[in-house]
Structure formats: structure tokens, C-alpha cells
Chains A and B, each alone.
Chain A
Amino acid sequence: MIAVVKSIKVEAQVRRRRIPQRLSLAAGVFCMLFMALLGRAAEISMTNEPRETGPAKAERVFTPRRDIVDRSGFVLATSVPLASLYADPYFILDPTDAAHKLHGVFPHLDPVKLAADLASDRRFVWVERHLSPEQQEQVHQLYLPGVSFMKEYRRIYPQGSLASHVLGHVDADGNGLAGIELSMNGQLVDETVTGPLALSLDVTIQHALESVLAQGIDEFQAKAGSGVVLDALTGEVLALASAPTYDANRPVPGDAERYFNRPVAGVYELGSVFKIFNSAIALETKTATHDMPVDARRPITIGAHEIKDFHAKNRVLTVSEVFKYSSNIGSTRLALGFGKEQQQSFFEKFGLMNRSSIELREAARPITPDRWGDITTATLSYGYGLSVSPLQLAEAVIPVVNGGLRMEASLLKGGRTSAPQRVLSPETAKQVRNMMRQVVEDGTGKRADVQGIGVIGKTGTAERAGRQGYTKRERISSFVAAFPAAAPRYVVYVVLEAPEGNKETHGHATAGWVAAPLVSRLVSRMSPILGIRPVFPEEQNGGVLLAVERVN
């Protein structure tokens, strides 16, 4: 009995000793857990790491297609958020009634087709995309169940039809279809790049070019026209126009003529403007000097072809005069002088044999001669036998204007970074420029001049190859120019397709009568924009400008 009691006592004693042990063990475990929690709390509060929180993440800004701006930041293309209306036919109670009501807001929608769509088994049907805020409000007022809005970005071109051929346009889902929108599509949708894409264009110069071109087409009843303005020092395209034009905000499907980018995608035999290159090659290869006599007394016969002059002088001309009076006979003699190999190699260097490297996919490949015989060398001297784009021709004139360096034309601000290539010596370039000045001072291009600025240039009247060979009726009249004459920097090229003469031109539709005056108007509009100060007649006579006041 005593033993039993004792043993119970001992057991109780043991148990009593064990309880504090367990307690401290538990306390220790809890302490460690709390320490871990504390440590984590301290870590979070000290490291200050950013945490993703629900609502803020959901509101992440959707980046639309990048804007396109001109060289000084004017917006040419931008994306604005607009509501698009869609329906879930599952929730549409009365498809016919709903279609009728929606037809009231969007009169161009077919109510029968819409009702069919709204009655379909699909769960998503576009009703109308890119609504105006007023239309959106009107749809709200209909209290229709099953229709909802979705925010979509729409590409708009605030300048309307300005530079439409350069910019191109996008489809409803915002993918580039033409122009810069197509060729730069990857960069425009790239979310890692911020800020707009800056083009080399200048909206004011572009506007001047487009309005002068439109005016000229109207005045001379031309079918179409092209215009290019380049900076010969950087190769930047300041303006590039194709007429007729279109408004990318209101596309008219099917009118392919309007969408055609003539100065880039069109190729033409451009005629006598090629005499610039012909003279440059002759001088550069030293097969001629500017005052060397050239026999232009009678037509030349090569094979079955007879080469005649349009403004025939029927005498011995100097090389400068061959250029000034645009003599085909004289040019042919020069070309036969330096020969086929030199002609080919220089045309290559001028970039006339390959596609222009301009940032537009539309850029056309030139049509080069199949066989390059003597007759080809002869006709190429005055611009037949090779079809190039007007932009390409203007690009090829750059070396003459800037002192011999080939600069590839670029539509991006700043131009290209690649080093320019020397094509002509500065001396040759200068001599050709002097000849171009003669053309405007006293030759076929007198109507291109601008008082106080001075223009240099060359006319080109070509006959277009039609179905029955070369027709006299359909002309391509163009004028390529550079200004200011004292230190030319800007290249201008204006082309009119199938112009007609009028009373003021005494019925003439040649380049000197129709294209040259357009260049003159254009240069006088552009000079103040480009900051070119005119030289006053008074100054040239050694006088001085005393006051400029009250111009009446």
C-alpha cells in the first residue's frame, strides 16, 4: 500500500518536472517562429521592393501606334482613342428592333444584314468601329441590352491630304498598308521606343509644293504631276508630292490612280534633264571642255535612227551652248566621245541604274536598256532609253549641286549616316552648275528664275511611249532646278504628265513653258521659309538698302 502511494507520488513528481520542460520547448518554438516573422517584416520594410498591386496593374496604359511628325514636330499622323461598338447576340432580345434602332444612328448600315448578324449564334459581332462621341451618346440613349463599347485607337492624319503618299495609311486594325506606315511599321508599333517618328519633311514646304503642283495641273490641264524638294547637303527629302492626291482619313477604295506615288513608284523616260549627267560625264572624263566646239550643223544618223534638234541652231556650238539650247545632236557627239563604258559606270554612280534606297517600299526599279549599243548611248545622252523615277533623277542631281558628293535621299530627319561618295570633282560640278545657270539666264528655262534668289536648272520635255510608239501628244514636261544660284543647296524637281498649252503659253506645253514657271513660284514661296535672304537689285549695283518701310 505504502509502496503504491509512493510510486504514485514519484510519478506525479516526475510529471510536475516535465510540464515546465514542455512549456519552455513550446515557447522556444513560438519564439523562433516570431523571430522569423519579424525578420521577414524587417526585410520587407527595409528593402522597399516594389510590389505589384492588383488595381494599378490592371490600369496599365496601353501604348498606341507611335505618332509621325515632320522635321519641326508638326503632327502628321497620330492615334486617338475612339469607342467601337460591338454586340453579344446572346443578350439581344429583339434583333430586328435592335437593328432598326442602330440603323437610326448609323444610316449607312444595312438593317437586314445587321438583324441577321444580331440573331446569329456568335458571341461577338462588330456593329460599327471608331464612333464619334456624338454617335456614342446616341447609342447610349437607345438603352439596348447586349451592345457594348470597346476602346480602340484609330489612326488619323490631322493634315488631311498633305503628304498622304509619303505617310501612306493603315487598315482598321492599325497595320501599315502603304508609305511610311508600311515601311516603318515595325518601328511604329515598337513599345520599347518612346516619342514620335520624325520625318525629314517640312509641312510648310510640302504645302507649298502641293499647292503649286495642283495649281499647275489645273492651269495646264495635266493628267498628273510629281514634285520633289531635296536638301543636297544632307540628302533629306523636304517635300515629296504626287498629284492627284487623296485623304487617308477618308479612303476611297478602288481609285488606284490616286493612291499611286508617282515620284517614287512611277518610272519615266525624262528626256533632256539627262543632259546634266551627259555634260558632267564629258567634263569629268576630260573628253570635253566647256568651251570646246561641237558640230551641231546637221542631224546624225546611227543605223536607222536620225537624231535631230528640237531648238535647232544649225551651227557649231560650244559644250555650254549644247547644254543651254538643249541640243540632241551635240549631246550625242559628247556621249559618243566618252563611250558606252563610261556612260554605264557614271549612271551607276549617279544611282540611275538601281532602285532608290529611299525608305519606301513603293520605290520602283528603273527600266534599263536590254542592249546597250551606240544608238542607246546616243539616246541616253538626251534621256531616252532609261526610265527612272522622278525622285531618283532629283537624287542624281545632288552631286552636281553640292560639289560632287552622292547623298542618298532619306525621308528621316537627319538623313543618312553613311559617308557620301564622291562622283564628280568640285570643278566639274561647278562648271555644270554654270551651264545650268545659263539655261535660266538665257536659255530654255528663263521662266524658272526668281529675282533676288537666282535659280539654276534644266528643262526636259519627253514624249511618252504609247501603244503606237512615241506620240507627240502625250508629253512629260519637267524642270529640275537648284537654288540659291550663288551657293545652291536645295534641289527642286517638278514633273507634269500630259500638260496642254494655254493662251498664256501660246499653246506651248514644253518644259520651259509649263514646268519652269511652277519652279519659279515654288522657289519664291520656299525661300523665306528656308531663311534665304534675297539679294536686292540695289545691292548688286553697289548701293545699299536704307530703309524698309511702308511697302505699298
Chain B
Amino acid sequence: MNWVNGVLAVVAALAALITYQVKNEVSSLNQKSAHFERLMVQERERIEVQRAEWAYLNTPARLERLASQYLGLQTLATLQTTSAKVIPKRPKDAEDTPETISLLRLSGKVPMPVARSLWVLP
């Protein structure tokens, strides 16, 4: 009978030890998790501030001012824009002229490109 008691006592002691360790581990993990939770909140707040800052830096009025101040850019004229679709392929017999003019007319030689798809409403 004595040896049974002995074994049980050892088991009980072991169980107590393990319980203590697990408890300890859990509490330190909890602390860690709380710490990271706090860091996450801080980080999230920092992101919010940065997003606001980013939005401010991208304000159209500011970009417009910077573009004209440092890059010498102006507002587009409507006729300075076009679609890549309407630019025809270079004809084989075209001559290379270094001073190509902005818009060159070739009436009749190349069929009229139709880019009306742009005008079709969704």
C-alpha cells in the first residue's frame, strides 16, 4: 500500500509543478499579448496620422502649385490630349524629318482611324 501512496504523492507534486509552470507561462504570454496589442494601437494611430498627411500632400491645389513652381508645367489644353488608339502606325514610305511637326495631316493616304468607342457611353 505504501508504494501506491508514494507514487500518488510524486504525481501530485509533478502536477502542481506543471500547473504552476503553465500558469506562469500564460501570464507572461498575456503580458506579451497586451504589449503587442498596445503597439498595434500605437501603430494604427500612427498610420492614421500618416494617411492624413499623405492626403494633405496629395491635395490637387498643392500638386498644381509644385508642378508649376518646380517643373514649369501648365494646365493641359484639350487638344494636347489624345488616345493611343487613334495614332496610326508609321507609314513605310514616311520620311524622317528631325523637326517633326506636332500634327501632320495625310488626307486620304491612310484610312481615317475611328476611335468613337471612347464616346460610347457605358
Residues of A that sit less than 8 Å from B by CB: 53-56, 58-59, 61, 64, 74-76, 78-81, 156, 158-160, 162, 203-204, 206-207, 211, 233, 450-453, 484, 486-487, 489, 524-525, 527-528, 531-534, 536, 538-539, 541-552
Contacts and interface: CB of A to CB of B under 8 A. Distances in A.
Given A527-B78, A528-B81, A542 B118 contact: no
B52 A55 contact: no
B119 A74 contact: no
A160 B78 contact: no
A75 B107 contact: no
A545 B113 contact: yes
Contact of B78 (A534, A544, A552): A534
A545 B112 CA distance: 9
Interface string B71-114: 00001111111110011101000100001101111111111110
Given A55-B33, A162-B59, A552-B102, A534 B79 contact: yes
Given A451-B78, A543-B107, A55 B34 contact: yes
B52 A80 contact: yes
B103 A545 contact: yes
A160, A528, A541: which has the most chain B beta carbons within 10 Å? A528
Secondary structure dominating the interface of A: loop
B102 A56 contact: no
A533 B115 contact: yes
Given A159-B56, A544-B106, A551 B80 contact: yes
Interface of B: 30-31, 33-34, 37-38, 40-41, 44-45, 48-49, 51-56, 58-61, 64, 75-83, 86-88, 90, 94, 99-100, 102-113, 115, 118-122
Contacts of B56: 158-160
Nearest to A133: B49
Nearest to B105: A543
Contact of A78 (B55, B102, B112): B55
Contacts of A546: 88, 94, 103-106, 110
A211 B63 CA distance: 14
Contact of A75 (B31, B51, B111, B121): B51
Contacts of B107: 541-544
A204 B119 contact: no
A524 B77 contact: yes
B34 A59 contact: yes
B86 to A, nearest CB: 6
7 contacts: A76-B55, A233-B121, A527-B78, A533-B119, A543-B107, A547-B87, A550-B99
A450 B78 contact: yes
Contacts of A531: 118
A56 B112 contact: no
Contacts of A484: 119
A536 B107 CA distance: 13
Contact of A533 (B45, B60, B75, B86): B86
Contact of B52 (A156, A533, A541): A156
A80 B111 CA distance: 58
